Structure 1
Amino acid sequence: MVVLLTTAGVGPAIAQQSSGQVVGQPDISIDTSAGKLAPGTSVKLPLSITNRGQIDRAGPQQYESRVTTARGMTMTFQDGQSPIEVNSGPVAVGNVPTGTRDVSPVEITVPENLEPGVYELPVEYEYAYTRVAEFNTQSAEYNDLTRTRTETLTIEVDDKPQFDVVDVDSNAQIGDEKDVSITLENTGTEPARDASVTAQSGTGQLSFGTDQSQSSTGYVGAWEPGEAKTVTYRASLTPDASHRSYATDVTVAYTDTNGIDQKSEQLTAGISTAAEQSFDLENVSSTLRVGEDGEITGTVTNTGPNAVDNAVVRFTDQDSPNVIPIEQSVAVGALEAGESTSFRLPIEVSSEAEAGTKSFDFGVQYRNSDDEKRQYDKLSVVTAVAPERDQFAVDIEETTIGAGNEQALTVEVTNNLNQTVTDVEARIFADDPLSTGDDDTGYVESLKPGESVTMSFELSAAESATEKTYPVSFDFRYDDERGNSQLSNTIRVPMAVSSSDGGGFPLTSILVVGSLVAGAVGVLWHRRD
């Protein structure tokens, strides 16, 4: 091809040489600095192109540059003629002036079973160039050609250890610490000495060892070609980790046969996981009430995936200072996956607590298959706390007393609590114009929940008492089921004072009547329906 170019002017070189010819051509070579490669690896093959340029007849610089530049260069790798596999198509290089330049690397694969040695990889390249530039003061003509050549790259496959992950045995579980075993094989042609295998986590949800490190290294020593080695790591997964498999980077550090420390290519091991060990609380009910002891009962179910031993239901709430567990936990024993059992936790609710619907945190502590203690804390119980009530109910048969009279009061006392109380001492109080006599206390050894007892007390009204209703008060000191001495709320009941002939008896009459029934039991028992 001959190209005629007319110029409006010429540069300094043409001013010195008004006409003539420049003859030359590119001189291309292609090289790689990959060094020694290992079988079974895929690498980016670094490439460089050198154009030394050949000038057969010199002339102005602009024409010399034209005839030595390779324009629109492309490269095609002929991997069909080589055991080396090229994982890309033709490479567009562009214009290549004289000098050396790097081009984009090409990904190649060295087959795993390729024997160590030196291999050739043919590269066909093509470019356009100008062979002759003929010029004068008015114009220039170019003889443009296209050239196709083949270069041969030398690839050296090294004689060295090579490693592959061949098996992963994972017991990893969300929210627990378990063993993970990774097995690797030396698929290379040379032994490795003083080898160690490092597993590196790529996420904060997966860690290794008791110190929760992101990596862990196991020493395996000498490693012959074809030999498999297994390294076991202690792997932990956080409770909020996703239930999926996790990729772990694995590298082998070793000393080669020349005594030089080496490190393998980075490998990947997939760690499968089991779901978090979990539990559920169902059929929950409670007898909680402000100012009283109660209990929370329900059913705990092991929702899997594993059987557990020594399971314990625990009250773990820290946000309810007025709700105090009498027993912090209750043991329910071994539970197979899917198995359920009942539980009961005694709870004290202080008088400072507020009634209403409450949510309390619970947990289940257990031992896993490695006999290690674990706890599942994602449980809550929603239940009602009933308003405070009087510990005892008081019912007086006589509700009226005459001014100036003294009267015996028959009082029915009922245990309102959800527990049996013992050593119960009742006391009556009254303010002027009412007053109590010497018989102002009553006693009963024990009262079951809902059980009632009848007690007798003395009450008198001053002659000057105004006809109206006055309060009479009772309180009770008793021992609860835990043996703690308690003092009840003060219970106030109304007592009406009438004129002197309106009710009651003079004290002398009461004493006479009392003598007639000497020996009778003063405290009568019955259970409220």
Structure 2
Amino acid sequence: MTASGHRRVLTLAGAVVLVAVTLGAVGVADAQLNRGDPSLDVYLPDNEVDPGTEAELAVQIQNDADVSAGTGTEGVTTARAVEVEVTDDGPFEIPTEKTPIGSIADGTTGTANLNVRVPETIDPGTYEIDLRVRYSATRQESSVGDQRVRRSTRETVEVRIADGVRFDIDEVWTDVQPGTTGDATVVLENTGSETAYGARATVTGSGGVTIDDGAAEAFLGDLEAGDSEMVTVDAAVAEAVGGGPKPVEATLNYRDENGVERGSRTVDGSLDSLSAQSFSIEALEDTLAVGYDGRITGTVRNDGPKTLTDGVLVAEPASDSLFIEEQRVALSELAPGETESFVYPTDVSGQAEAGPRQVRFTLEYADGGRTTASVGPVSERVVVDDQRDAFTITSEDIRIQQGSTEVISLTLTNERPETLSNLNARLYTDSPLSSGSDEGFINELAPGESDDVRFEVSASSRGMPNTYRVEIDIQYDTERGDTVLSRTYQHPVEVEERTDDGDDGPSLLLIALVVAALVGAGIWWRRRD
């Protein structure tokens, strides 16, 4: 081959190589790719919680991605469908196992909020929570296709239980009952390991408990570790909630050893109120009748649980036909189980109808607070009897002859259920009867007791034999001190024809014979002269 031919071959070969290189460069440009990998780091910046609380831990996940090829790297550096799973919650309780976050781009941070329940008795120290972080990523992007992967990493975060000031409600003492107000003593204790300086407590109630009309504040001063302080508050328990434990809460503000102002978690306590006060009415009796004064009597029993002081039993009739003049009866101090008798003088209207009635009893007492408590009402049944006379008046048959005077005896019987005194009986007569002694007196008559009153009654000689009547009314005093005039009673008196029985002097025939003899003697004497 000549030199010129050799040069042509070399020139052609160079051209082929140049074309190949050019075509290769164009192919590489067409097939350019992006390659990268998200890199997730887990942090828990605010990791301190208190015992006995439910806290929210904000777990932060930061993406610091790696790029190995390409310039459009957003697709290969973003972590997608990020999810945090709790694999071991240590001494805590975390109800939600998995928490979705979404996408985390390169250089940004996502947050998983975990609700953590901290045991009441956990010791100060540092504890671990194990997590698994899952996410999707595009490892490589190119015109030919993308390469997607699903990855997971295991992470651990630390949770710290502070070794400092810690408060608890140790005890709550009270004798408050539903529907009453009184003192409650709350014992606050520093269960931590450091001194709380200038501690101030705020105590509140809920669930039917009201503390000082909303909240009570108290200054505790410096409270060293293990020390406790009592706070007395005014507690009111709603009547509708009944007895048993009621929630009480307290929060405290204090300064730590560095003089930094701090606040405690809210601590819970229990106010165990007494059961509601109760009473009962026993041995209830009544002496009620239409139109008369009577009494309602019985005993009241303190059924507890507290001793009653300054007690007042209030009786209220449920009917307008009953009138209790003094409805409030003061009671002596009654311990649980003790009883005391009561008497309510009661008037019954003359227009009332006989039958049962309701009387409501309410018990008022001092509850030890600023108010007077009441319990009830308790309804009891009394019976109004038909109207009946206060007296019955009896006697043997009373007979008076024409022109004669007799002392009659009437027997008065007390039909009232109470003792009557100073009984003045007065007799009224009409012609042909008259009375020279028309008043009688009885000092006292117990219920059902009888006694006699006597009156002098005369019958006119001109009166026809017949049955006539005398009238009697009685003025008397009741046990309540009232003076009452009874209705007018009528009693029969028989006026009989006067008869001579030989014992009362000479008969009419004898008188006539004597008169005739005297007349005859006079005539004879005048004729002799």
Given the two structures, how large is their TM-score scaled by the length of structure 2?
0.70
Equivalent-residue separation in structure 1 for 2:282 and 2:48 (angstroms) = 66
In the TM superposition, what is the alpha-carbon distance from 1:423 to its structure 2 partner? 3.2
Aligned to 1:253: 253
Q: Does 1:127 align with 2:135?
A: yes
Equivalent-residue separation in structure 1 for 2:111 and 2:344 (angstroms) = 79
CA displacement 1:249-284 (0-9 Å, x = unmatched): 222233444545433111111222333343333233
CA displacement 1:273-328 (0-9 Å, x = unmatched): 3333433332332223333343334444443345x366867243254453315684
In the TM superposition, what is the alpha-carbon distance from 1:426 to its structure 2 partner? 3.4
Pair 288,253 (structure 1): closer, same or farther in 2 beyond 3 Å: farther
Aligned to 2:4: none
In the TM superposition, what is the alpha-carbon distance from 1:245 to its structure 2 partner? 1.6
Equivalent-residue separation in structure 1 for 2:269 and 2:230 (angstroms) = 13
Q: Which runs of 5+ in 2 are unaligned?
A: 1-28, 505-529
Please show how residues 170-181 of structure 1 align to structure 2 within 5 Å. Answer: 170-174=174-178, 176-177=180-181, 179-181=183-185
In the TM superposition, what is the alpha-carbon distance from 1:398 to its structure 2 partner? 6.1
In the TM superposition, what is the alpha-carbon distance from 1:360 to its structure 2 partner? 1.7
Pair 318,74 (structure 1): closer, same or farther in 2 beyond 3 Å: same
Please show how residues 207-218 of structure 1 align to structure 2 within 5 Å. Answer: 207-208=210-211, 213-218=213-218
Q: Does 1:75 align with 2:84?
A: yes
Amino acid at match of 1:278: S
Equivalent-residue separation in structure 1 for 2:381 and 2:162 (angstroms) = 68
Aligned to 1:446: 443
Classify the secondary structure of the residue corresponding to 1:304.
coil
Contact 1:45–1:106 (8 Å) recurs in 2: yes
Classify the secondary structure of the residue corresponding to 2:57.
strand
Amino acid at match of 1:215: A
Aligned to 1:394: 393
Pair 155,238 (structure 1): closer, same or farther in 2 beyond 3 Å: closer
Query: Which structure dedicates a bigger proportion of its chain to strand?
Result: 1
Aligned to 2:358: 359
Pair 131,255 (structure 1): closer, same or farther in 2 beyond 3 Å: same
Choose from 87, 100, 108 the match for 2:94. 87
Classify the secondary structure of the residue corresponding to 1:482.
coil
Pair 374,440 (structure 1): closer, same or farther in 2 beyond 3 Å: farther
Pair 442,253 (structure 1): closer, same or farther in 2 beyond 3 Å: farther
Amino acid at match of 2:227: E
Aligned to 2:36: 24
Contact 1:126–1:146 (8 Å) recurs in 2: yes
Aligned-residue identity in percent = 24
Q: Does 1:114 align with 2:113?
A: no
Amino acid at match of 1:91: K
Choose from 47, 58, 65 the match for 2:71. 58
Equivalent-residue separation in structure 2 for 1:443 and 1:326 (angstroms) = 35
User: Which one has the largest radius of gyration?
Assistant: 2
In the TM superposition, what is the alpha-carbon distance from 1:171 to its structure 2 partner? 4.0
Pair 318,186 (structure 1): closer, same or farther in 2 beyond 3 Å: same
In the TM superposition, what is the alpha-carbon distance from 1:35 to its structure 2 partner? 6.4
Classify the secondary structure of the residue corresponding to 1:444.
strand
Contact 1:177–1:234 (8 Å) recurs in 2: yes
Pair 303,272 (structure 1): closer, same or farther in 2 beyond 3 Å: same
Amino acid at match of 1:164: D
Aligned to 2:46: 34
Aligned to 2:290: 290
CA displacement 1:372-414 (0-9 Å, x = unmatched): 9865445443222222222222346668999999998754333
Amino acid at match of 1:187: T
Choose from 160, 167, 174 the match for 1:163. 167
In the TM superposition, what is the alpha-carbon distance from 1:27 to its structure 2 partner? 4.2
Contact 2:324–2:344 (8 Å) recurs in 1: no
Pair 285,273 (structure 1): closer, same or farther in 2 beyond 3 Å: same
Amino acid at match of 1:228: S
Query: Which structure dedicates a bigger proportion of its chain to helix?
Result: 2
In the TM superposition, what is the alpha-carbon distance from 1:247 to its structure 2 partner? 2.1
Aligned to 2:243: 243
Pair 226,112 (structure 1): closer, same or farther in 2 beyond 3 Å: farther
Equivalent-residue separation in structure 1 for 2:104 and 2:394 (angstroms) = 115
Contact 2:187–2:230 (8 Å) recurs in 1: yes
Equivalent-residue separation in structure 1 for 2:328 and 2:293 (angstroms) = 14
Contact 2:318–2:358 (8 Å) recurs in 1: no
Equivalent-residue separation in structure 1 for 2:86 and 2:61 (angstroms) = 14
Contact 1:87–1:109 (8 Å) recurs in 2: no
Aligned to 1:385: 384
In the TM superposition, what is the alpha-carbon distance from 1:492 to its structure 2 partner? 5.0
Given the two structures, how large is their TM-score scaled by the length of structure 1?
0.70
Classify the secondary structure of the residue corresponding to 2:76.
helix
Equivalent-residue separation in structure 2 for 1:318 and 1:241 (angstroms) = 29
Choose from 167, 182, 192 the match for 1:188. 192
In the TM superposition, what is the alpha-carbon distance from 1:453 to its structure 2 partner? 2.4
Classify the secondary structure of the residue corresponding to 1:67.
helix
Aligned to 2:346: 348
Q: Which runs of 5+ in 1 are unaligned?
A: 1-16, 497-501, 514-529
- Between the two proteins, the alignment pairs up a number of residues equal to 463
Classify the secondary structure of the residue corresponding to 2:124.
coil
